[in-house]
Structure 1
Amino acid sequence: MIKDIVVNLATGNSRDPTTAYAISVARMFDAQIAGIAMCHSPAIVAGGMEAVPADVIESLREESARAANGAIERFKQAAAQAHLPAEAQMVEASIGGTPRIFGHIARTFDLAIVAQTQPEAVTSTDVAAEAAMFESGRPIVVVPSIQKDGIKLGCILVCWDGSRTAARALADSMPFLERAKSIEVINVGNGRREAEESLAAVGRHLARHGLNCSAKALIADGTDVTNVILSHAADLSADLIVMGGYGHSRLREFVLGGVTRGILDTMTVPVLMSH
């Protein structure tokens, strides 16, 4: 059951597909929605050749505050147009402290909705996805930067590898699965019999919840698992992907690459992740 949602508001520009998507999710579940806009304290490097004038520091902070207040105003207007109860707040933090703070805020909400990570930029919006996943203990929905529409649940693709994080994501996605027109559960691997048995167990579990699903074991066959998932999602015209996030350590995935990292970088549809 989803009763409250928190969304990380984009302060950089007026187009914010994440906020629009979050509002559509709140409407679907008749949930309260809260927007968080970060106001950044300027990062001053100690030991520089010259001290940064106090008026310059204050000017930078005021500029960040204006951007945050602008994001809050756009959010409130969009929520009002959707006839949704909403609240919003500006939170002051350093750029480095933003991920932890947003993750802690998300702990008291049923769902956090954040923007897709942008590989070439490091902003408060970008780092919120991983922070919310690791710090909040709550499911998150990551919205791709190319998203144009609100939430649709014609088809949900569930990625299943039998891991703890996959089980957590499956449980957390139940409110979405209950509203889906179709559900497909996939396992991407070497096609062994164990995968089919595990998929059958998921099917029985969903059936006990009154949900029907199809299941398919996909063979990676040397192909990147991320590409297999996204290609299959495109074939199905999936509206949402459900998967566990960072089954391996975050450091290992950052250094060696991994499915979570790959999805965050190249996702084409919204993804519900749990850790």
Structure 2
Amino acid sequence: MPMMNLLVAFNGSEGSVAALRYAAALAKRLGAHVTAILAHSTHEVIDKRSRWIPKEARALLEAANTSILREIEEKFEVERTAMGLANALQLKEVSGRVDTVLSEAARHYDILIVGRHSKTDDEHVTLHPDRIALMSGRPVVVVPAGYEGGGTLSHSALAWDGGRAAARALSDSLRLLEEDGRVSVLTVGLRTSWPVEDLMTHLSRHGVEAIHEEWPPSHPVAATLIAWCRRNRPSLLVLGAYEHSKFREDLLGGVTSEVLAHIDIPVLLSH
């Protein structure tokens, strides 16, 4: 089945602007439908329902929350108009824990497209793509701020170690890889003992032209993937997120976090 139902998270950040443009271009290329969602928390440091808080103070808190959301909606309207989608793209507004809202929403779509996490985002609309990929059970495409490659699928890269997360990422991205038609399978260091030739046969039977490139364990995985993508400029990197525990990656740093922090092309994450 082709990907026909795309969800894009929009929070007004430069990353979300790039994600919105990418989603619209991808939907046009695939003949798919795209829905935009603004997920936000209540952004309250105190409970404004408390009886001791003056009515005026409660009104100020409410106004501050509303002002942030209206600014985001105005930015969305500018983008929607510029893309010529004034009547074809609506923005859903949903309150709650942002990562949880997006994870639950994503389960009703083929794929979720988001901007890369930025420390400068307002806390009440900030999102964490890696956490969403873990919680949602759906593939998440992370688009870096300033990305202007559109939705063109010319050549993809697949990070492969033969593990469960890599296999899930392959399955979740296969329809896009078929559309692309050309994939570089990248293996760095240790991988499972199962012959990689079976993976190449699998891709070939899906109409995908694949080549395999590999590096020894002496090469750092994230740095090798990032450097290869900068040299070869694929349109997408497919990556299994957190093959080991996310706690360990957060504590020590890991491939997923480093790739997302430094790569300049869209990354499809899946867990």
Question: Do both proteins adopt the same fold according to a TM-score greater than 0.5, normalized to the shorter chain?
Answer: yes
| Deviation digits for residues 209-256 of structure 1 (CA, Å, limit 9, x no counterpart) | 2222101221241x4211100111122221110110111111111001
Q: 1:22 to 1:123 in 2, by over 3 A?
A: farther
Runs of 5+ unmatched residues, structure 1? none
CA distance in 2, matches of 1:219, 1:90: 47
Q: 1:219 to 1:62 in 2, by over 3 A?
A: same
Structure-1 residue corresponding to 2:264: 268
| Deviation digits for residues 137-180 of structure 1 (CA, Å, limit 9, x no counterpart) | 11111001231231222211111111111001111111211122
Aligned-residue offset at 1:131: 3.6
CA distance in 1, matches of 2:268, 2:105: 18
Between 1:168-177 and 1:64-73, the stretch displaced more is: 64-73
Structure-2 residue corresponding to 1:249: 245
- Matches for 1:65-84 after TM superposition, within 5 Å: 65-78=69-82, 81=84
Q: 1:135 to 1:75 in 2, by over 3 A?
A: farther
| Deviation digits for residues 35-87 of structure 1 (CA, Å, limit 9, x no counterpart) | 011344232247xxx957112211112212312322442354255x1598433
Whether the 8 Å CA contact 2:10–2:16 is kept in 1: the answer is no
Whether the 8 Å CA contact 2:27–2:34 is kept in 1: the answer is yes
Whether the 8 Å CA contact 1:241–1:272 is kept in 2: the answer is yes
Q: 1:173 is paired with a residue of what secondary structure?
A: helix
CA distance in 1, matches of 2:115, 2:79: 15
Structure-1 residue corresponding to 2:111: 111
Aligned-residue offset at 1:198: 3.3
Which letter maps to 2:160? W
TM-score by length of 2: 0.87
Between 1:242-251 and 1:34-43, the stretch displaced more is: 34-43
CA distance in 1, matches of 2:13, 2:181: 36
Whether the 8 Å CA contact 2:40–2:98 is kept in 1: the answer is no
- Matches for 1:76-225 after TM superposition, within 5 Å: 76-78=80-82, 81=84, 85-93=88-96, 97-119=97-119, 123=123, 126-190=126-190, 198-221=195-218, 223-225=219-221
Report how many residues are paired.
266
CA distance in 2, matches of 1:14, 1:166: 25
Q: 1:67 to 1:274 in 2, by over 3 A?
A: same
Q: 1:211 to 1:12 in 2, by over 3 A?
A: closer
Whether the 8 Å CA contact 1:169–1:274 is kept in 2: the answer is yes
Between 1:105-114 and 1:61-70, the stretch displaced more is: 61-70
CA distance in 2, matches of 1:10, 1:35: 10
Q: 1:167 to 1:122 in 2, by over 3 A?
A: farther
TM-score by length of 1: 0.86
Confirm or deny that 1:64 pairs with 2:65: no
Aligned-residue offset at 1:272: 0.7
Structure-2 residue corresponding to 1:20: 21
Q: 1:160 to 1:98 in 2, by over 3 A?
A: same
Aligned-residue offset at 1:259: 0.6
Runs of 5+ unmatched residues, structure 2? none
| Deviation digits for residues 253-273 of structure 1 (CA, Å, limit 9, x no counterpart) | 100111111111112110111
CA distance in 1, matches of 2:202, 2:24: 30
